[in-house]
Every structure is written in C-alpha cells, then in structure tokens.
Amino acid sequence: MSGRWFFLVASLALALRPVPATAEELVTSLSSSEVLIESNFTGAQIVIFGQVDRDKQTVSRPGPYDLAVVLRGPDQIVTTRRKDRLLGLWVNREAETFYEVPSFYVMSSTRPPTEMGHRNMLEKYGIGINYLNLPISPQSEVQVSERDDFRDAFLRLRRKQGVYSEQAGKVDFLTESLFRTTISLPATTPVGVYSVDTFLLHEGAMLASQTKALTVAKTGFEQAAFDLAHQRPALYGILAVITAVFTGWLAGVIFRKD
C-alpha cells in the first residue's frame, strides 16, 4: 500500500511542477509553398517572412536577435573524382562518395555564420555551407589526410554551379519582431520536396526554430516526359530514338536541294 501511495504522490508532483515557458517562438510563412516548372521556366523567387513572438512575462534580452533561413533541397548521393595526368591525358583516379548531400542549398542570414555562433552549433543545424554534414562511405579508400581536399572540391563545384550559396546580411527586420528575406531559385533548380528551416539565435544560443515544406515540381509536357523517363526508361529511349530519326528525316526533306 505504501508503494502505491508513493507512486500517486510522485505522479501528482510531476503533474503540478512548473513548466518553464519559452521566451521566444517563431511564426514563419512562405510566399508560395509550390513552384511549378514549365518549358519557359527561368527561375523563381521565394519570400520567407515571419515574426518573433515573445513571452511578455520574461525579461527582454540585451542586443539584437540573429536569424538564419536555410533552404535545402532533397538529399542525394554524389561522387567526386580527382583527375590526374597519365601519359599526357587527363583521367579519373581517386574518388570520394558523399551521402545525404543536399541537391540545393541556400542560407540567408542576418550575419555571416561565424559571427552567429560556435562551430558545434552551426554543424548541428547545418547553418552555413562550410558547416554542412557530408557523410562519406565507411569503406572509403581515400586517405584521411586528403578527405578535406575532396570536400572542398565538392563545395567549390556546387558554388560554381549556383546550387549552393550564402546570403549574409539579407534577412531584414521590418520591425523589432517582423522579418523577411528573399531566396532565388535558378532555372536549374532540382525537383523534389525542399525544407525551409528558420533559426532564431541570440549571442550564439539557439532559441527557436521552425520548418516549412516547399515543393518544386514539373508540370505539363515536362512532367509527362520526366515521369516516362523514370518509370518506363526503355519506352522513353525508344521514343527518343524515333523522334530523333523523324526530326532528321524531316529536316532533310525541308532543306533538300533540287
């Protein structure tokens, strides 16, 4: 009986214990939750806006807030190869495979990542290109001393392709609590479901975060061709060959000289 009473008293104490209130909360929204790619698609812009809600019962924090908005595309597996000269020719030699790599990554923030927090926190949440977690295969044959070279080369190529970028200083506070930023999607944006993560920080500490979904999809003929290529690749290949042959024959007929 005493054990039963102890259990009841302990349960009651846990139920009545004070729950610490969250001082800040994030409320965010997107100008559009879906981007449709058609034949004339040249890119799009997504506006992320929101508000920092504060608990009025808590004391205001000294200094301004920091915000980081990360738009991340679907993960993929990517192999980075090193080319060396062999008998006067450039050939592929060593290779490193990265897993769970974002196909698209843009970070917009109030300040550069290094000024917003310590390395461990930035790596934990993937805030900043240099702090992305890029897992490699446990069976990797690349020497440990050379892995950073492959990582740097991969990130450099992604920046050059325009699918990885950072926008420090591009998050604007319209008032003390309202903010907004704009992220551009190029014409080469991969399709899939993206995540839009907004992080609220203060003096290097993570206060709140919120995640929204953004869908990038093809539509019309582009979507039909995409689905056919992935669901029935053999039929897609046959149709592509027939189309190429017909186009060549038609061009020969039109431009044939008498």
Q: What is the CATH number of the domain that holds 54?
A: 2.60.40.1930
In a domain, 67, yes or no: yes
Spans of the chain, pLDDT less than 50:
1-3, 5-21
| Whole-number pLDDT of residue 166 | 95
Q: pTM higher than 0.85 for the full model?
A: no
| Whole-number pLDDT of residue 223 | 57
| Whole-number pLDDT of residue 86 | 59
| Whole-number pLDDT of residue 12 | 38
In a domain, 90, yes or no: no
In a domain, 204, yes or no: yes
Dump pLDDT digits (tens) for 147-201: 778 888 889 999 998 899 999 999 999 988 899 999 999 988 888 999 999 999 9
| Whole-number pLDDT of residue 19 | 38
| Whole-number pLDDT of residue 91 | 55
In a domain, 258, yes or no: no
Domain count, the chain: 1
Full residue range of the structural domain in which residue 44 is found: 24-72+103-215
In a domain, 16, yes or no: no
In a domain, 223, yes or no: no
In a domain, 57, yes or no: yes
Query: What string of H, E and C letters represents the secondary structure of the chain?
Result: CHHHHHHHHHHHHHHHCCCCCCCEEEEEEECCCEEEECCCCCCEEEEEEEEEEECCCCCCCCCCCEEEEEEECCEEEEEEEEEEEECCEEEEEEEEEEEEEECCEEEEECCCHHHHCCHHHHHHHCCCHHHCCCCECCCCCCCHHHHHHHHHHHHHHHHHHCCEEEEECCCEECCCCEEEEEEEECCCCCCEEEEEEEEEEECCEEEEEEEEEEEEEECCHHHHHHHHHHHCHHHHHHHHHHHHHHHHHHHHHHCCCC
